[in-house]
Chain A
C-alpha cells in the first residue's frame, strides 16, 4: 500500500538580493496514516518552511508530492480546496494564531461554514462535539481568546485543525509556548486523537525530548538538508551524523546523575544563502576534512536509518 504522503526531492528556494536562500533542499520521505514524523533542527534550518511547503501555504520550487495516491505537486484551485480539508496545520503560538475578535465557537465553526457541507444546526452540533473532544468546557463557547489561558487557546487551535476531519496535520511547534504541565496535557490529547482517527502528524519542533516521545520516526534537518532520519528509538540510541550527536548531547537532562558527555559545538548556523555543494555542517564539525566538501549522499545504514555523512562509518568504528 502506498504511503499517505510521499515527498520526493522537495525544494524551496527564496530569491533575495544576497542570492538564493536554500530553505528546503532536496527532502524526500514517506509518511503513513496513524504515524508521526518528527522534524528537528535549530531555528533557521527550514523545518517550518518544509511543513508549509507541503501544505502549499507556499509553493515549492521543485519536487514531487503525492497525497493519498494523488499527485499534489502543482494542484489546481479545485484540488487545493480539497487538500485544505484533508491537510491541516496547528500553529506554534496560540496567542497570535487566533483571531482576537472571534469567540471560541465562531473560531471552531469557521472552517465548517466555509466548507458549506453541513446545515446550520449540524454545524453548531459539530462545534460542540469538537469542543468536547478537545476538552474545552461548554461555558467557554462565547469566550474570546484573551479570556483563555495558553493551554485552552491551543485546544481551540487543535479543534480548528480537526474540524474538517483531516487525514494529515502539520504540527508546527504546537507546545513550545506552553508550560510543562500544560504541554503534557496537549501532547496526550494529540496522541489520543491520533489513535482514534488514524491521523498522520508531521511534528516540527526544536524540543528533542518531546519529539522522542511523540514520534515514530525523526528527521534531523540542518540548513535545509536532511542529515539523518531514523526510527525514534534508534536515532536516540545510535545517532550516526556528527550533528545529530551534538544536538542530542546538548539536551539538558533533569537528572543529577546524568553522565552524558557534552559535545559543545563551536559557532552557529552558517548562512543558507548560496551554500557550497559540500556538507553544510562542515564549518562546525570537528571531524571535517577535504572529502566533506564533496556533495553528501544519503545512505541507508540500517533499514529506515538514513544518514548523509561521508565519514559516519569511520566514526562509528571509533
Chain B
C-alpha cells in the first residue's frame, strides 16, 4: 500500500533549489541544491533537525520567504510543469491557498486573534471562489464539521479554543479550497501525543478523501513511519537520503540517517545508554568543502573531507549522497 506507482502524475518537481540568506556580515547557505518530486496523492516526509533547511524549502514553494534577506538564487520549482519561481506576485496569490496550502507549525500564532474563526476560514473561500458571503460561511461551517469542530462554534475567537482545536481550525482553513498540494510544517509539534494522534488520524482521512498530495515536514521519525510513503532526509540544506519508507526505515543507508535512528530512545530496547551523533550541525555560513556530515561521521575518510559526494541511486528509487555507499547490482 505504501508503494508509489511510478506512472503517477507529478504534482510538484523541485530541481536544484538553492536558497541563501544574505546578511551584512555573512551568507547563510540554507538550501543547497534540493531535488524532490511529489506525485498525486502521495505523502512525502521531509525529515531533519533544526536549521536543516526544511522550513526554508517549504516557504520557497509558497513563495513566502522575505526577499531580501532570502535569495532564491538557483533552481526551479515546477508545479504542474510551470515554474513557481517565475510567477508574478498576482499569479502567486491565486495559487496560494487555492492550489497549494500550508499548515504552520504553531497554531497559537497562525490565527488572527481578533477575528472569528469561521470568518477566517470563509475569507480563504471568498478569495478564491466566486461565492457570496453566506455561501462562504456555509462552506466554513462544513469545513469545521469536517475537522471535528461543531459548526456552532464558528462565531468563537481563537482564544476560546485549545491548542489541538486551533490546529484543526488551521487545517480546515488550509483545506477549505481543496488544494492539490498541502505543506504541513511540523503540524503536531506543539500538541500533546494524544491530540497529535487525533490530528494525524484526521489528516490521513481527509487526505484519502480529497486525494491531496502532502509534504510533511517533521523531526519525528515516528510520525514519518505512520504517515509517509516517501521520505527525504535533510541535512545542512541537502537531501542526503531519499527513498520509500521501506528504504529509509529498513535499508537505512546514509550514516546521518543511521545516527538519527540510533539517537532515538527505543521503547523495546534494554540498552543503558543512547548513541548520540557526536558534535553539532555545521555552521551554515561556513559549510565544509566536502561532505557536510564528515565532521560527525564515524565512517569519514580523506575523500569525504575534500570531495562533496554525488547523489547516487543505490537501488531503484533509493538515492544516497555518500562516498561509502556502493550502487548494488
Contacts and interface: CB of A to CB of B under 8 A. Distances in A.
Interface of A: 42-43, 149-151, 179-185, 187-188, 191, 206, 208-210, 212-214, 236, 246-247, 249-256, 258, 262, 264-265, 268-269
A247 B197 CA distance: 10
B273 to A, nearest CB: 6
25 contacts: A42-B192, A150-B50, A179-B50, A180-B263, A181-B263, A181-B277, A183-B276, A208-B267, A212-B267, A247-B194, A252-B193, A253-B267, A254-B222, A254-B224, A256-B2, A256-B225, A256-B245, A256-B249, A256-B250, A262-B197, A264-B197, A265-B194, A265-B197, A265-B198, A268-B195
A268 B197 CA distance: 12
Contacts of A265: 194, 197-198
Contacts of A268: 162, 164-165, 195
A42 B193 CA distance: 8
A191 B49 contact: no
Contacts of B198: 264-265
A180 B219 contact: yes
Which of A191, A213, A246 has most chain B Cβ within 10 Å? A213
Closest 9 CB pairs of A and B: A252-B222, A184-B276, A254-B221, A213-B265, A184-B263, A184-B274, A250-B197, A181-B277, A179-B49
Which of A185, A206, A236 has most chain B Cβ within 10 Å? A185
A188 B2 CA distance: 36
Contact of B201 (A185, A212, A262): A262
B267 A209 contact: yes
Nearest to B223: A252
Interface in B194-212: 194-198, 200-201
Which of B194, B197, B264, B277 has most chain A Cβ within 10 Å? B194
A268 B259 CA distance: 35
A253 B222 CA distance: 4
Contacts of B223: 252
A246 B197 CA distance: 10
A209 B261 CA distance: 13
Given A212-B265, A254-B249, A185 B192 contact: no
A151 B267 contact: no
Contact of A180 (B163, B264, B266): B264
B159 interface: no
Nearest to A254: B221
A222 to B, nearest CB: 11
A224 to B, nearest CB: 16
Contacts of B261: 254
A210 B277 CA distance: 17
B325 interface: no
Given A181-B49, A265-B198, 20 more contacts: A180-B263, A180-B264, A181-B259, A183-B263, A184-B275, A187-B265, A212-B265, A214-B265, A247-B194, A250-B196, A252-B196, A252-B220, A252-B225, A254-B222, A256-B225, A256-B250, A262-B197, A264-B198, A265-B194, A268-B162
B280 interface: yes
A209 B193 CA distance: 11
A214 B259 CA distance: 20
Given A149-B280, A188-B274, A213-B274, A206 B197 contact: no
Contacts of B275: 184
Contacts of A209: 264-267
A151 B197 CA distance: 28
B210 to A, nearest CB: 20
A179 B219 contact: yes
A206 B196 CA distance: 12
A182 B265 contact: no
B78 interface: no
Nearest to B218: A252
Contacts of A246: 194
Nearest to A236: B267
A170 B318 CA distance: 45
A46 to B, nearest CB: 14
B214 to A, nearest CB: 16
A212 B224 CA distance: 21
Nearest to B265: A213
B202 to A, nearest CB: 9
B194 A187 contact: no
A269 B165 CA distance: 12
Interface in B257-297: 259-261, 263-267, 272-277, 280
B94 interface: no
A181 B225 contact: no
A182 B276 contact: yes
Nearest to B148: A266
Nearest to B192: A42
Contacts of B313: none
Which of B249, B264, B274 has most chain A Cβ within 10 Å? B274
